[in-house]
Chains A and B, each alone.
Chain A
Amino acid sequence: MTKLHELSLEEARAGLLKKDFKVLELAESVLSRIEEVEPKIRACLEVFGEETRKAAAAMDEAGPDPSKKLWGVPVSVKDVFLVKGAPTTAGSRILENYVPGYEATVVEKLREEGALIVAKTNLDEFAMGSSTEFSAYATTKNPRNLERVPGGSSGGAAAGVTAGEFPGAFGTDTGGSIRQPAALCGCVGLKPTYGRVSRYGIIAYGSSLDQAGPLARKVKDTGILLASVAGPDPRDSTSSSVKTDDYADLAEPDPGKLTFAIPKEFWEGTFDPNVKKVLDRALDLLKENGVALKPVSMPRIGYSVATYYVLAASEASTNLARYDGVRYGHRAKKYDDLLSLYVNSRTEGFGKEVKRRILLGTFALSSGYYDAYFKKAAKVRRLIREDFEKALEGADLILAPVSSIPAWPFGAFTDDPLTQYQLDVMTLPLNLAGGPGLSLPAGLGDDGLPVGVQLFGKPFGEKKLLEAGLLLEKIFPALPAAVV
């Protein structure tokens, strides 16, 4: 018999509304699954057991509310979303004792839709990393293979969803931090268009790139989660007032009427042989099912790693200037004056990858280098966006791999930042362009590790993206549940 924690988000919600089981029963199942697998995978930095039980019991008392999109559904949020009264660390020592007094709009909306915030998940410090190894607090393991990284920076969200700890999760994607861990763990991850979801109350990394989005085991579930949080927010001036669609009401498209652009810059690189085999098979399956695949070129994609790291690091160096040991966060014990208070607090509080990016950004923004790095990168960014616009002119969506290698062993790249940055080449371009992207499993490699593909759409075309995702989910081999 299926255990309640194994249900998809859609199934769980339907069962709750029909009173097949109680909110508290679902919550207990999820909490006991968390208790069972956390010692092995460490996806969570905090679990809200008592709060969840209390809220669940109260909901059972009140009875089902079908007007709420997530009534009684347990959901986790990455530890960059502010949750009132709960420690919010961003995976950094510098925020070890930070307890916010207000909530992120995403969290507020999730609660309004009846979700239970069950846990806060692990991440690379300030969402800077691709393996979750740069968390100051815990090493999250890939539930498909405990010797491997879960990807990052939303590694805890992807690992937890894949292991059945919760049916849905929210992460953030600045350069692939939702899509890449989803691919490496074997679940679904959606990066919405920049501005589709409010950034209010989310700890900032790169403000022109950051976007919150859902992870789940099914495409449909990410649609329901997006529908719960999308829309303008008066507290975030970069949130968009473009009309939202009903992302929870999806219809599978006719494959014969679908054209995917296949950019050679994404597909012609060097791939791990296991990954290559799954990707080739995925393309064959699409063709067999009647999807038209149109070869295209996106000539500036090769510059996206340099463009991204200059811009993201510059924005990070500006955003992280606020951590100074005065108003909140870590303050050094030893200092002689105001300057050494700043320097010592920041030097003790930040980890090495964060420092690396602050240095790079400070350099790119400094007098004498600004034009050659920051401004130049911003110009190349416009050209990269043009590549996306052009590729989408004669196609419905763009199809690309997510990662050229499967989940790697711990420590493989922690001392080789440049190689690590270059591995992000498939996910970074989308954030520079600003559009939406959906990452979903294409199958398991012969090594037993999941391989993902991603679809890119036009800005605010999330619905079309999700509907195509439904089709791919049906065509591609389904992944077995992770055995942890």
Chain B
Amino acid sequence: MPAIDEKTALAIAKLARLDLREGLAPGTEEAELKKLVEEFGKIVGYMDILGEVDTEGVEPLYSPMVEPRPPREDAPFTAAAKDADARGAKGAPGKPESSGDPDASFDPDDPDSSAKEDRARWILDDAPMTFGRYFTVPKVV
């Protein structure tokens, strides 16, 4: 099975959007990184015992659910309808929104629904940086 070298570890970290070098003390950085990679390799190495198990013809089990529930109808919800539905009829599937415009669900300018406004406000309030009603990120293109 694969030995985890520094190159592999750094490639995996990049996929995971993590920086392994961050926080390591300057001077001992390389030694600390080596230790991290070794520890990671040891953990991955332990997982190799799975190879001992004969799984010929065994189907993977990804979820222990006994009876799969039917998926919800593929139709947009409004936040308010979803809330009311979940609170009102327990166990019943939510009512699909008839107007069909998904953007309408989170329109804080809709004067009819204070629940919608409330939702839009707390979603934006939790964002580290916003501009008007939008999340902001550095320029991409």
Contacts and interface: CB of A to CB of B under 8 A. Distances in A.
B125 interface: yes
B13 interface: yes
Given A99-B122, A326-B137, A337-B138, A382 B61 contact: yes
A80 interface: no
Interface residues of A, number: 83
Contacts of B67: 240-242
B122 to A, nearest CB: 3
Contacts of A291: none
Nearest to A307: B50
Interface in B1-27: 1-2, 4, 9, 12-13, 15-19, 22-23
A363 B49 contact: no
B67 to A, nearest CB: 7
A418 B50 contact: no
A85 B22 CA distance: 33
Given A232-B91, A325-B128, A359-B13, A379 B58 contact: yes
Interface in A72-101: 97-101
B126 A328 contact: yes
A231 B16 CA distance: 36
Nearest to B119: A101
B63 A208 contact: yes
B122 A433 contact: no
A234 interface: yes
**Which of B2, B59, B66, B89 gathers the greatest number of chain A CB atoms within 10 Å?**
B66
Given A303-B49, A338-B138, A98 B91 contact: no
A356 interface: yes
A101 B1 contact: no
Contact of A327 (B18, B63, B82, B127): B127
Would you call the interface of chain B mostly helix, strand, loop, or mixed? loop
Nearest to B124: A327
Given A234-B91, A235-B86, A343-B18, A459 B118 contact: no
A459 B63 CA distance: 13
Interface in A390-447: 417-418, 421, 432-435
A377 B60 CA distance: 8
A372 B67 CA distance: 28
B92 A310 contact: no
A362 interface: yes
A460 B122 CA distance: 37
Contacts of A309: 43, 47
Nearest to B48: A306
A417 B39 contact: yes
A161 to B, nearest CB: 27
A369 interface: yes
B111 interface: no
B16 A359 contact: yes
Interface of A: 97-102, 105, 108, 194-195, 208, 231-235, 237-242, 300, 303, 305-307, 309-310, 317, 321, 324-331, 335-339, 341-344, 346-348, 350, 355-356, 358-360, 362-364, 366, 369, 372-373, 375-383, 385, 417-418, 421, 432-435, 459-460
19 contacts: A97-B126, A101-B125, A105-B86, A208-B64, A232-B69, A238-B63, A240-B67, A306-B46, A310-B50, A326-B128, A326-B135, A346-B16, A358-B18, A373-B47, A379-B58, A383-B55, A385-B64, A421-B46, A433-B64
Of all A-B residue pairs in the complex, the 10 with the closest CB atoms, nearest first, are: A434-B64, A101-B122, A378-B60, A331-B128, A382-B61, A379-B55, A328-B126, A362-B16, A347-B19, A379-B58
